[in-house]
Amino acid sequence: MAAESEARLRTDARRNRDQIIAAAKVAFTEFGPDVPMEEIARRAGVGVGTLYRRFPDREALIRAVARDNFGAVVADARAVLAEEHSAWQALVRLLGRSRSLRLTIQLAVLSEGARAAVKDDPITQRYRDELMAMLEEIVRRAQREGSLRADVGAGDVAVLVSLLLRRVPVDSEVLAESMLDRALVLILDGLRADPGSPLPGRPVTTRDLTDQATRSP
């Protein structure tokens, strides 16, 4: 009987945690990372005390949201590499999933506290490194099969993805999503082999981006 009660408590705790993270994602997106914790608790349907038992401070909650988002994208990227025989289709799928990273990226730049919570988190960094490694692999495969232009690097693709993650300055969410869908198609067309317009400079690597992130304050 005691074991059943303990299992039920663990299940309840997990459900509360998931509800809080889901509510925080929506609230952060709407109001930014400084939204009152009481508002997040209200949206999650839990008491403030329950929220703070799961996440002792705002930074812990921000890290949990970032980990959840990054983890989902990394899992999708693994599936892409395993399931797609065409590297080009793998790239299309991966870029189509990139908007799941939007909140994580926004958290990394919207406020100083949020930026520090995400940047210094080793789990989020590990997810980022794994995602970059998989992007490198997809880019190499696509170039070998001749579907992706040869004068780009995985860093170039990552920069284009970051542009998709920016908040579109329109009030209508439907219109914003339509704009992003159109932008993604334009980006993919520009990445196809033999587009006809040579690029200036050299291909950007993921190492270029990592070194820059390390130097940033």
Shared domain check, 67 and 6: no
How many domains would you assign to the chain? 2
Supply the pLDDT for residue 211.
64
Shared domain check, 181 and 110: yes
Shared domain check, 178 and 81: yes
Give the pLDDT band (50/70/90) at residue 208.
Answer: confident
pLDDT tens sequence across 194-205: 766 777 788 888
pLDDT tens sequence across 8-28: 657 888 999 999 999 998 898
Helix (H, G, I), strand (E, B) or coil at 199: coil
Residues 72-94 have a mean pLDDT of: 92
Q: Which of 38, 56, 74 is the last residue of a domain?
A: 56
pLDDT tens sequence across 24-44: 988 987 888 889 999 999 999
Q: Which of 30, 56, 82 is the last residue of a domain?
A: 56
Q: Which of 56, 80, 99 is the last residue of a domain?
A: 56
CATH number of the domain that residue 43 is part of: 1.10.10.60
If you average pLDDT over every residue of the chain, what do you get?
84
Enumerate the β-bridge partners of residue 148: 192
pLDDT tens sequence across 95-108: 887 767 677 766 66
pLDDT tens sequence across 83-93: 999 999 999 99
Supply the pLDDT for residue 164.
78
Shared domain check, 127 and 50: no
Shared domain check, 193 and 148: yes
Residues 103-118 have a mean pLDDT of: 70
Shared domain check, 195 and 124: yes
Shared domain check, 2 and 97: no
Shared domain check, 97 and 152: yes
Supply the pLDDT for residue 195.
67
Shared domain check, 108 and 52: no
Supply the pLDDT for residue 214.
57
Distance CA 74, CA 213 (A): 20
Q: Which structural domain, as residue segments, surrounds residue 22?
A: 1-56
Supply the pLDDT for residue 29.
79
Supply the pLDDT for residue 43.
96
Shared domain check, 73 and 31: no
Shared domain check, 149 and 202: yes
Write the CB contacts of 138 (distance below 8 Å, at least 6 apart in sequence). Answer: 80, 81, 87, 90, 91, 94, 154
Give the pLDDT band (50/70/90) at residue 72.
Answer: confident
Cα 159–Cα 162–Cα 167 angle in degrees, nearest 5: 150
Give the pLDDT band (50/70/90) at residue 216.
Answer: low
Shared domain check, 150 and 179: yes
CATH number of the domain that residue 190 is part of: 1.10.357.10
Cα 215–Cα 200–Cα 179 angle in degrees, nearest 5: 80
